[in-house]
Amino acid sequence: MDNKPLSGAEAKLSGLWQGFYTYIGYSSHCEMVADLTFRNGRVTGSGTDRNGWFIITGRYSDAAGDCLMTKTYPEYHDVFYKGHISNDEIMGAWWIPLGRVPGTFRLHRTGTSEGGARPIGEAVVPASSEPSLESPDNPEDTSGY
């Protein structure tokens, strides 16, 4: 775990994020909240939604604004998120491997973490299960979300 203080850009991104995800073909929004830390090109954290508690791991590019995250419900399944960071917002698409219904998501930063976000250890989700920002399994175009 890196105990150094967050850089200015990392501190601006790190904190509490709230928002929703939708399923393609359905009009209802499913709310979620997450406490995320952005550090050295990696994003880690945890949160809750209607399905329960989850862990977030992933990568981001501050320069390009790309963000790719894996949301893991322990002992359940993974959900991949590909989005674009702009100001205090991340928007994009999500999907579950094996052809399950995909959807869109939108998160906005609501403030700093009380007590700080806690980075999650690498052992929780092996790096090999995280798609790269260039992965062919990612939706090709999230610009309309």
- The domain limits of the chain are 10-113
Q: Which residues pair with 18 in a beta bridge?
A: 33, 108
- Helix, strand or coil, per DSSP, at residue 77: coil
Looking at residue 9, the DSSP 8-state letter turns out to be H
User: What pLDDT band is residue 11 in, cutting at 50, 70 and 90?
Assistant: confident
For 132, how many CA atoms within 13 A lie in the half-sphere containing its CB? 4
Which of the pair, 7 or 96, is modelled with greater confidence?
96
Superfamily grouping for domain 10-113: Quinohemoprotein amine dehydrogenase alpha subunit, domain 2 (2.40.128.120)
Gap between the Cα atoms of 78 and 59, Å rounded: 15
Q: What is the pLDDT of residues 48-95, one digit of tens each?
A: 999 899 999 999 998 889 999 999 999 888 999 999 999 889 999 999
Burial of 114 (0-12, 13-18, 19+ CB in 10 A): exposed
Contact 56, 46 (CB under 8 A): yes
Condensed to tens digits (0 to 9), the pLDDT of residues 82-128 reads 999 998 899 999 999 876 778 999 999 998 765 443 333 322 333 33
